[in-house]
Structure formats: structure tokens, C-alpha cells
Chains A and B, each alone.
Chain A
Amino acid sequence: MSATTWKEKLAGSVREDWAREIDVFETQIDLRKKGKIEERLFAETRLRRGTYGQRYDNGQRNDGEKTQTLPFPSGELTKGPVTMWDAPGMQRIKIPFGKLTAAQLDMLSELAEEYSDQILHITTRQDIQLHFIHIEDTPDIMRRLASVGITTREACGNTVRNVTACPYAGVCNTESFDVIPYANAITFFLLGHPDTQDFGRKFKIAFSGCKDEPCGLTNFHDAGAIARTRIVNGQVQRGFEYYVGGGLGAVPYPATLFDEFLPEEELLPITQSVCRVFSRLGERENRARARLKFVVKKLGIEEFKRLVLEDRATLRPDERWSSFLNDLHVTDEKPLKPPMPIGPGPYPAGFEAWRATNVRPQSQLGYVTAKVTFPLGDFTAKQGRALADLARRYTGDAMRATVEQNLLFRWLPEADLPAFYAELASFGLGADGADTITDIVSCPGTDTCKLGISSSRGLATELRKQLSVISETLAPAAKDLLIKCSGCSNSCGQHHVADMGFLGVSRNVNGRRVPHFQLVVGGQYRSNAASYGLAIGAVPSKRVPEIVKRLTDRYIGEKLDGETFQSFIGRIGKKEVRKLVDEMNVIPPYEQDPSFYSDWGDPREYTIGDLGVGECAGEVVPIVQVELAGSEREVFEAQVLLDEANYPGAAERAYSSMVQAAYALAREKNDQLSRDPEEVLREFRKYYYDTKLFFDPFSGGKFAHYYFAAHEDRKAAGASKEGAHQLIEEAQLFVEAAHQCYTRIGSALP
């Protein structure tokens, strides 16, 4: 008799412990449906299995004219606070270091086809996401994934997230050694480990084989390990340059060096102790301050290190710390074919351009890697199957999802390149331009993310479309520029480490909401994302392509020999860039050009409803706007002071911008308000924080905490460059939150 459920069909082909976990999760789903599990507990439970909510899962959606209620069949049943049971959700699937086999890609494609919308989406952390999934389908999805060796456990929630690594590891010309055996060991050592189950926030780990390339992006991870070797008594010893406390998010922190050389046998126990200290000392109440970076900053690296080493000394020995070192070849890939140099041609049309950007020689002679570029990280189930088939015939199981949202094939004999390319092109995946200006990274943004403010994917699509048309005529230095887009300040699109980064914000213009993007420049992707850019100012979404073009033209026209975009921006100064931003900030009245009042790829009017333009709004709103614009200006001035190495001045100006933004709002409630910082803070707290008026549905009051902390620390904050940089980031976010608060208030007016 044939099986009637996936559980029956896959019995015996799923690891016993994984099968049990999934059964438990399925039971929890049943219990929640019966109301026997509290919704918050269930939410954390499903998040730990990678099962997320999506936009509109509160059962409300604005159709461009009004907010409609979505009448889901399960009524008021929820799968978390304000998260309707039947609302489509997202399943994040951890792919450790992005390594995929052909069988896994086939399975992922089946799942996208049967439960999702035909699309597989690669994330900026080497995961794969399926969207528009129903919660009740997730146990079967998990079983089918488990049958090919994939677990979604701890893909989200306050856990150790997907461990990422350089996709070239093992075949790279600049690596010290292959980091994959170590990444693999730490992945499964920490998965479900008792010491990683009680964090206040997530914990991300990244590995890189070298220091100078961007591939590992260790600088913005909670723990980052860069491969190192040294000679001891004539023997080569392996270890890691080990960093802690990095992170992007709303306020990015560069990682701090923990140990210049952490011996390989100490990698797992020290990371375990880092986790234990994080678990013990990490913030629990205020999510905005709960990442490891805040613990490291608060304690200082020396004290943090002391605590970690003290903890390390108390750990009960675990054979897993070093057992994996007995076979560092366990993760090696076996090439399917012998190496062979490429023939003289002729080659298929488009091949040379593709080869120039998408192909790299491996450290193993005669083999190359080939990158398949996916626009916005998306590809279809059918393409997924075709890629799995290519892997089986050309390379074996040697694919890696990359943080640039592409897929890397490894161990491809050079001689096979033309045929491989021709096949890729036949199913629509022969695009060149990997790691160039057209290879734009984007988070999901307003397409599916609950936190999205502007359409990062819509913008990325438009930029890609426009840039692809002119890419052949672009100067090489322009082609090499990297663009990354995030739909909000949370940095999932990694906008801080692009040449040009964009993060979604909104502005009120003449009583209507207009989608904007903050332009972020000065970031550096190389050297594991060595430095972060700062926002220069907000540009209307519909003018972003124009500012990209003008900045690119200016760079090409004025750059010095060998000058990078980052150096160019540093040389001309942010004031010059700001001038461009200001020129772009002319928005025609709605009646003249309504297109500015919609976002890219979404014809709905970008508004949360009919904004009031009554007497009250007509008189008071412009004053608020003037004050808020003033606070924005002050943030920018703080950046200029930072560039001039006036760190105390930059910090003071950043703080001052927060006071002005708080004043702008507080004056609405108290028109006798003075500009005395103590009084402004008191009144802001009274009218906006204590009442939660300043809180937004997702971030709560976290941005107000930046202001309060800055007020407390204002005499000490600007002592260092890093301190001033961070304060500017926080000021930017507070001012942005003040804008949003004002918009919410405006929308509530009669």
C-alpha cells in the first residue's frame, strides 16, 4: 500500500533525531491550533525552525486606497502576536556555508514548486528562502529537506544562525587553508548545543580563508574566523585570526580582534565559551541592545576576553572539540572530471563576456569556478533542477550559494566552460556581470518583509534594468562598483558595505507619504567588509537611478589613477555628495506627477491612508517638518566633522540632532517647550516614550533608547572615531524614527 503522508513515505530515510524534532514541531502546531500553547511561545518555537511571518500577516493590507481586512479562514487563530494563522509565511532553510548537493537542489526545487511560488531565493547569508508558505505545510517541508540532509533547526530565533564561509574555500588562490572542515565542525557542534539555547538575540559566525578578499565578510559577524598559519618548531600550525562583536543591523559595529592566532583545537571550545558569556551577559529586555556587539562594547575587549578565557577554563572537555581534526578531508569535494585546458574556440555567443566576469581559475590547475548570477537572488524550480543536472554532469556535488545571492560551481574543467555556458544560457541563466554594478544585492524589502519601508527589490530591479542596458559602455571602474539595497535600516541587504548602498525610508511631502532611500557611501566590501559607509541623505525612490548615474559619471570623470570609489568619496568630501542629494530632492506635486508617490514595481499609492490636511495639520505640520529637516542637517554635519577627524565635535552634533528631532515632536505637545536638552528629553519621554507614541510596531522604543543613552553618555561618547561613528548611526536612526512617528501622528489626524 502506498504512503499517504510524507512522514510514512520518508520513514527510515530521515535521521532519527531530526525526525523526532519535526514530529514534536508538528505536535506543537496541533497544540497551538487547539489553543494549548501560548502564542509567544509558539512564535519562538516556529522561528527556531526557520518559519517566519511575512508582510500582511496581521490580516491587514492597504490596497492603495484603503486598508482591507484579509478574511483568513482560520479566523482569529494566530501563530504569534498579531500574526494570523493562515497568513502566508517564509521558510528559511539553512545551508551551512552555502554548500549544496545536486540532490538537495532537486529537493529544494520540488518544495518551491509544491508549496511556494516556484521561486527559490538565495539570501545574503547563504540560506535559501521559500515564500508564501502555509504554517501547516512546514512539517512536511522539513521532513523532505531532512531526507536530503538539510535541517531548518535554528534558522531563525535567538540562536546560532547559518554558519557562512567563503564560497571559494578549498579552491581559492589566496587562502591560507580550506576553512570548510572547521565551519562544518562548528555548525554541527553548536546546533542544538545546550549553551546556545538561551540567547537574548541571534548569533552569527563567518569563516574566511584570507584577510584581504571580501568573501567571508567576517568583520560584521558576532564571531569571525580568518584562516592563519604559523611555524612552530618547524611545523606548520593552523589557527584563526579570531574576531568578536561585529554586526550590521541598524547600527553597524566592526568586529574586534579577540586573538591574533587562535589554534585550531581551541576554535570550538573558545566559541562555546563566547556563546556562554553572551548567553550570561547579553541583554534580554531591550532587543535593540541584545547582540554580542553591545556586550563587547560595554565590557571592553580585554574584560570580555578575560571572561571568555575564565569560562573556557571551566568547560567540561568535549571530544568533539578536536575529533574533527583527525579527518580534515571529510568535506573535500571530488571532481567529476579530470582537469583540462580550454580549447581555442570558436565559443558560443556571449561566452567571452560571461567568462570575463563569472569565471575564476582555481588553485588546482585546469579547474575553474563559474558563478551563476541570479537577479535579486531568485531562480525557478525548473532552473534549479536544470542546475542540479549540470552539477551531476560537469562538477559533481560542488555548488555553493554565495552572500551575493548567486550560485558558484566549482571543479569545472576549463575545457568544459563553453558547453557549460551554452547550457546555462539555454535556460536563461547565462547572464554575465557577476560581482559588478549590475549584480545588485537586495533584501526582500516591502515585497515580503514585515519591516520593509521601501521596495528594495523594486529599486534593484529597476537599477539592474537600466544599468544592464548601458553596462557595455561603462568604464571598467564603473562596472566594478557594487550596489546593495535594503528595505529598511536593518541592513539585510548589507548596504553599509557597498560602494553605493541604499536603505529604505519614507518622507512626508505635502501631506503625502513618499518612498525614499538613504544614500550610503564610503563602505568597503574588500578585506572582509573592512569599513562601513554612512548615510548622506534621503533621495526619492524614483530619483535613485539618476543619482546612481550622476555619481558614477562623476567618479569616472574625476577619479585619479587607481582611485577606488571609497577613496574618491573621501577626497571630494561628503558635502559634494550631499549637494547631489539635495539637487535630487525636488518632488513634483502629486497632481503633476503621481509616480513619485508610488514605489518601484508597485502601483499602489505609497500611503498609509488619507493623510489629514485640516487646520491643525496645515499649521503645525510644516513646523515639525522644518525642525526634523534641521535634525537631518545636523546628522549630516556630524558626518562632515567625523571626516575632518573632529570626533568630539561629530559626536556632539549627532547628539544635538537627536535633541532637535525630539524637540520637533515634543513641541507638538508643549508649545512652551524650551530647547534646554534636559527639558526636551523630559518632555519627549513624557509624551512620546511613556505613552509609546514613539514606538513602532516592530522596533518598539529602541530608537528612543539611542537618544536616552546618548543623553546619558554625551560627555564621553565622542572620545573615539568609532564612538562618534556609532553615535552618528544612532542619531540617523532616531531622526528617521521621529519622521515615522510624525507620519503616524499625521495619519491619525482628523
Chain B
Amino acid sequence: MLSERLQLKLFVEPAPHFEIEALIPAFHGWIREKRLAELVIDVVDYSHVTNGPGVVLVGHASDFYFGDLDGAYGLMYSRKRGGPGADARLEDALRRLVNGARLLEQDPSLKLKFRTNEATLRLTDRLHAPNDDATFASTKTEAEALFGRIYSGASVQTEHLIEPQGPLGVRIKTSTAPTLDALLEKLGGPPQD
């Protein structure tokens, strides 16, 4: 994947009494307790913005968003800089995302349940990954291979999310929905940096 900047999101099952502000203490806890291997710095509350980034855990090389930018709540991992080489970027992002989602699922105060059979991917680097058919084709190939492998041979479907002027967006759907634990194990466990 040529784009160093990418965003990968998993969605949560709708919860009737869920309040997004609950993510604020959760993310603060991640910083305080050093729950992530990577450097995370602060928590920003954008819950006042409709269909916005929600609550953001800002890091140095990457951020975590819990919001409804795509119209549905979920956790988005956003790689901003650094990270592994082009061949390993998507897998690294998936690993960090699944690790983050698992931490949220394990937080009893949140009562969140992720559905793992759908993800969205955005390449937020218009220079190296313009939103065109060629970029989509190469991204599709890479995403299908990775998800097929991590999801143990499940069938994978990809769809080009069309948004004029937007970055390249891809919806990824899988025929199975493994647990986050199973996915993380397959991905090599929590990132250690």
C-alpha cells in the first residue's frame, strides 16, 4: 500500500442507551495505564459535531476515533506517519484496530460489541493514493488477500465508496465474523512496537 496515511474502521452493534461521552474516560484510561504500545497524547471530545469524529485519542503516529463519521458508530484507527513498509501497512493497521476494539469490548463500563464482518478503509493521501480506479484496484487486491488470510479463508467482498472529492474509500465485507480475540491471535497479538 503506497499510502502511508490510512484509516481503518470496525463498527459496533447498535446499543440502545449508548452515550459516546463514555469513551472519554475510557481513552484517558488508555493513556494513564499505558494500554497501548504506541505513544498516545490526549483525548479530544468532538461529540458535539453531528456525524463527526466523536471522541479522539490523539497519538504521535496514529489516532483512534470513536464516532459516526460514516453514519454508524465504530472505532477507527488512523495511521498518520511512520509505521512499517508498504507491504505491511494494512495488516499493521488491522492489528492495531482489532487490539483497540478488543480493549473497548473488554471495558465493562461501555458494553460495546463489535461486528467484525465489515470494515471501511480510507487512504488519506491524495498524492500517493489518488481516488481513482487504479488505486482502488490495487487496494482491493491487497485488502482481499489480507482479510482472506486473517479471516481464515472467508470470502471477502470489496466495494469502492464513491464520494466526490473524498479520499479513496473501500468497504470490506467478509462472510464470517470471528471474535476479536481470534482475529488478534491471527494477527500476532497486541502490537509491541
Could you tell me which A residues sit within 8 Å of B by CB distance? 3-6, 9, 55-56, 61, 63-65, 68, 70-73, 86-88, 106, 109-110, 113-115, 117-119, 131-132, 134, 375-376, 378-380, 382-383, 385, 388-389, 427-429, 447-448, 457-458, 461, 464-465, 601-604
Using Cβ atoms and an 8 Å threshold, which residues of chain A touch B163?
Answer: 382, 385
Q: By the criterion CB–CB under 8 Å, are A375 and B127 in contact? A: no
Q: Return the CB mask of B36-80 against A: 1 if under 8 Å, else 0.
A: 000101111111111111001010100101000100000000001
| Nearest-Cβ distance from residue A195 to partner chain B, whole angstroms | 39
| Nearest-Cβ distance from residue A390 to partner chain B, whole angstroms | 13
| Nearest-Cβ distance from residue A91 to partner chain B, whole angstroms | 14
| Nearest-Cβ distance from residue B103 to partner chain A, whole angstroms | 17
Number of interface residues, chain B, beta carbon within 8 A: 40
Q: By the criterion CB–CB under 8 Å, are B41 and A88 in contact? A: yes
Using Cβ atoms and an 8 Å threshold, which residues of chain A touch B164?
Answer: 385, 389
Q: Among the listed stretches B10-18, B23-31, B113-121, which one makes contact with chain A, having 4 or more residues with CB under 8 Å of it?
A: B23-31
| Nearest-Cβ distance from residue A487 to partner chain B, whole angstroms | 14
| Nearest-Cβ distance from residue B75 to partner chain A, whole angstroms | 14
Q: By the criterion CB–CB under 8 Å, are A134 and B81 in contact? A: yes
Closest to A106 in B: B165
Query: In the complex, A429 Cα to B48 Cα: how many Å?
Result: 12
Using Cβ atoms and an 8 Å threshold, which residues of chain A touch B124?
Answer: 113-114
Q: By the criterion CB–CB under 8 Å, are B45 and A375 in contact? A: no
Q: By the criterion CB–CB under 8 Å, are A378 and B31 in contact? A: no
Query: In the complex, A448 Cα to B52 Cα: how many Å?
Result: 18
Using Cβ atoms and an 8 Å threshold, which residues of chain A touch B100?
Answer: none
Query: In the complex, A70 Cα to B44 Cα: how many Å?
Result: 17
B126 within 8 A of A: yes
Query: A70-B39, A114-B126, A134-B80 given. 13 additional CB < 8 A pairs?
Result: A6-B127, A9-B127, A86-B60, A87-B41, A113-B167, A114-B167, A117-B46, A117-B65, A119-B49, A132-B63, A389-B164, A427-B51, A429-B50
Closest to B43 in A: A602
- Complex partner residue of B52 from A106, A110, A119, A447, CB under 8 angstroms: A119
Q: By the criterion CB–CB under 8 Å, are A118 and B53 in contact? A: yes
Q: By the criterion CB–CB under 8 Å, are A119 and B46 in contact? A: yes
Query: In the complex, A734 Cα to B143 Cα: how many Å?
Result: 60
Using Cβ atoms and an 8 Å threshold, which residues of chain A touch B125?
Answer: 114
Query: In the complex, A437 Cα to B63 Cα: how many Å?
Result: 34
Q: By the criterion CB–CB under 8 Å, are A458 and B45 in contact? A: yes
Known interface pairs A64-B28, A603-B28. Does A118 touch B69 (Cβ–Cβ under 8 Å)? yes
**SS class of chain B's interface: helix, strand, loop or mixed?**
loop
Known interface pairs A6-B127, A70-B41, A447-B44. Does A117 touch B32 (Cβ–Cβ under 8 Å)? no
Using Cβ atoms and an 8 Å threshold, which residues of chain B touch A132?
Answer: 44, 58, 63
- Complex partner residue of B5 from A4, A106, A114, A376, CB under 8 angstroms: A114
Using Cβ atoms and an 8 Å threshold, which residues of chain A touch B165?
Answer: 106, 109-110, 385, 388
Q: By the criterion CB–CB under 8 Å, are B58 and A117 in contact? A: yes
Using Cβ atoms and an 8 Å threshold, which residues of chain A touch B45?
Answer: 447, 457-458, 461, 601
B166 within 8 A of A: yes
Using Cβ atoms and an 8 Å threshold, which residues of chain B touch A602?
Answer: 24, 28, 43
| Nearest-Cβ distance from residue A146 to partner chain B, whole angstroms | 15
| Nearest-Cβ distance from residue B168 to partner chain A, whole angstroms | 12
A to B CB contacts below 8 Å, 11 in the list: A9-B127, A61-B41, A63-B31, A68-B32, A70-B60, A114-B126, A380-B49, A385-B164, A428-B50, A601-B45, A603-B25
Q: By the criterion CB–CB under 8 Å, are A380 and B69 in contact? A: yes
Using Cβ atoms and an 8 Å threshold, which residues of chain A touch B126?
Answer: 110, 114
Q: By the criterion CB–CB under 8 Å, are B81 and A428 in contact? A: no
Q: By the criterion CB–CB under 8 Å, are A119 and B53 in contact? A: yes
- Complex partner residue of A56 from B5, B41, B48, B128, CB under 8 angstroms: B41
Using Cβ atoms and an 8 Å threshold, which residues of chain A touch B82?
Answer: 73
Q: By the criterion CB–CB under 8 Å, are B48 and A378 in contact? A: yes
Using Cβ atoms and an 8 Å threshold, which residues of chain A touch B56?
Answer: 117
Q: By the criterion CB–CB under 8 Å, are B51 and A382 in contact? A: yes
Using Cβ atoms and an 8 Å threshold, which residues of chain B touch A388?
Answer: 165
Using Cβ atoms and an 8 Å threshold, which residues of chain A touch B52?
Answer: 118-119, 378, 380
| Nearest-Cβ distance from residue B51 to partner chain A, whole angstroms | 5
**Residue of A4, A64, A132, A385 ringed by the most chain B CB atoms within 10 A:** A132
